[in-house]
Amino acid sequence: MVPLFLFGNAALECFGKDGPGPLLYVDSGFGSLEPGAVSLWIKSLEKDEDPVFGKIDILEPLPGTVLPPEIASIAFSWDDPAQSTAWLLTVKSGEDTYLTAVLDKPWWIPEKNLWDRLKEMSGTQELKVHIQGIGGWSGRKLLSANDTFFSFSEAALDARILFMRKPLPFLKAKQNPEMTELLVGDISFYGAPESVMAGPGSCANCHTYSSDGRVFGLDFDYGGDKGGFVLASMRPEMGLGVNDVFSWNAVPAREPATYSMGLFAQLSPDGRYLAATVNETSVFVMMDDLYFSQLFFPATGQIGFFDRESGKFGILPGADSDSMVQTAPSWSPDGRTLAFSGAATEKGLIEKVLDKMVLNESPKQTIEDLNKKYNVQFDIYSVPFNKGEGGRPCPLEGASNNGYSNYFPRYSPDGRWIVFTQSPTGLVLQKESRLCIIPAQGGKMRPLKCNLPVMNSWHSWSPNSRWLVFTCKAASPYTELFITHIDSEGESSPAVRLFRFSSKELAAMVPEMVPISGRLPRFVNLDAGPAPTVTMAVDGR
């Protein structure tokens, strides 16, 4: 077969008698090579006679990576201990070579036409990627090598990803709310994610969707009210008025809390109810460290809910104890059950918060320093919702009483699994946090294989329960988004970095999968008040 030859950003397709052949890509740094000379040059490469042959450290994709079929090209990157000046990357399935690339740097992002051809040729077969370092006095010695493997799944992601970006450290984000962005990303798109809200002028944090994508909510400090919340049904054209903005502070705070923020709000699958943490008294310290710039968890709190149909608030029985802090609610896909994180309240800790001892902690400390001072471990419970009547809370086996802090439970849309975050202590922004999975009714806990070395958290399921998006700091202090495949047995694949969603100056956070058929808000002239002058345009794709 005659190869498909790509030179830099230009592509020249050649056909043999049996149709298109294997793909050949050559970086523009090798501009002096004629197309016909490339294959001869590759064949002339010689393995270094030095018995110490370097092993390349392949950073991405990791062995066993599974990709959505619609994903735009991923990044290939590696560290090479040898003095290599070029690299030869080969993609094969069995004995069949699909792609050969000659590269002048230790990373590569295939262009669209090449990536599309590779997907077409490979189908769902596992592909072996062999990377070799080239150098030496002749420039033709093979100095190092290693392999990795990946494949494309039959299951599409079938969702877009709504997420926020904020500057770091956290103090900078707090002082500059206009730098906050709400964006939506499509993994099949080769461009940057699209901004749907920029420069709100007031603090905006967690967002939430109903399972069909028809109802949207956003934690937004409207008019300076920390309990402000935007909640509306998506319509082709709409403006947000008084009926779309409410405050959790419409309900008198329960001592020792003086107000409610409505932390970690989640919409019920049908979009009727909104559940959140209320009556919070929170441990909150801002640090100077770029990686981990805040310690945060509520020291008191109950699970409150708002009924969009009746316009009434309530505190859920079974998640309303004064002797326990209850937070981070999550709905089962049938809307009948809420999972939440709970820990015993500590009188001494609450007094430190009220006396501002916590608030006055030095920002020069590290997260490790503060974790020692303010150690907390949450367990995950489930409680019947029962139309707001609640019931008896039960600790979930595998996510409670295990010597760790367990939080942010998320049910898979098919109702089979719960994935939650676990760390030695804490609730938010923990260096050692990892994602774990249990059966939805509780059972044996397993850490997911997608976990990376530094902070894994803030996860969301795809509508078909086959993919999970989450945040991680393994590659940068500016938190990035990753996805992993979850198979029918609840096993995950190594994580894939969504590098097109990343920023060099802003951290990506609180990602949420939005059904591909769901409408997306576009905020225009977002104003913090006092009058509700927010207008919204809606994407109907």
What are 493-528's pLDDT values in tens digits? Answer: 999 999 999 999 999 999 999 887 666 666 554 444
pLDDT of the residue at 211: 83
Q: What are the domain boundaries of the chain? A: 4-152, 159-539
Q: Which residue has the higher pLDDT, 252 or 187?
A: 187
- d(C-alpha 361, C-alpha 364), whole Å: 9
pLDDT of the residue at 539: 41
Q: For the chain, what's the residue count?
A: 541
pLDDT digits (tens, 9 = 90+) for 49-78: 565 678 999 999 999 999 999 999 999 999
Percent of the chain residues past pLDDT 70, beyond the cut: 87
- pLDDT above 80 (res 346): yes
Q: What CATH number labels 159-539?
A: 2.120.10.30
pLDDT of the residue at 219: 84
Which of 80-89, 129-138, 232-241, 507-516 is predicted least confidently? 232-241
Residue type (1 letter), 365: Q
Q: Which residues pair with 492 in a beta bridge?
A: 486
- d(C-alpha 114, C-alpha 444), whole Å: 43
- d(C-alpha 294, C-alpha 285), whole Å: 5
3-state secondary structure 81-133: CCCCCEEEEEEEECCEEEEEEEECCCEECCCHHHHHHHHHHHCCCCEEEEEEE
Residue type (1 letter), 480: E
Q: What CATH number labels 4-152?
A: 2.60.40.10
Which of 17-21, 105-109, 340-344 is predicted least confidently? 17-21
- d(C-alpha 185, C-alpha 501), whole Å: 7
pLDDT digits (tens, 9 = 90+) for 161-175: 999 999 999 999 888
pLDDT of the residue at 526: 44
pLDDT digits (tens, 9 = 90+) for 135-157: 988 888 899 999 999 999 999 99
pTM of structure: 0.91
pLDDT of the residue at 49: 57
Which of 86-100, 120-134, 524-538 is predicted least confidently? 524-538
pLDDT digits (tens, 9 = 90+) for 391-439: 999 999 999 999 999 999 999 999 999 999 999 999 999 999 999 999 9
pLDDT digits (tens, 9 = 90+) for 428-480: 999 999 999 999 999 999 999 999 999 999 999 999 999 999 999 999 999 99
User: DSSP labels for 438-484?
Assistant: EETT----EE-TT--SS-EEEEEE-TTSSEEEEEE-SS-SS-EEEEE
Residue from 73, 67, 76, 75 nearest 123 by CA:
67
Integer-rounded Cα Rg, in Å, for the chain is 26
Q: What is the average pLDDT value for the chain, to the nearest integer?
A: 87
Residue range 36-52: mean pLDDT, rounded: 73
Percent of the chain residues past pLDDT 90, beyond the cut: 69
- d(C-alpha 531, C-alpha 509), whole Å: 29
Cβ contact 36:17 at 8 Å:
no
- pLDDT above 60 (res 9): no
Q: Which residues pair with 407 in a beta bridge?
A: 421
Q: Which residues pair with 302 in a beta bridge?
A: 278
Query: Residue 108 has which token pair?
Result: 């590569």
Confidence of residue 227 (pLDDT cuts 50, 70, 90): confident
- pLDDT above 60 (res 319): yes
Residue range 352-356: mean pLDDT, rounded: 94
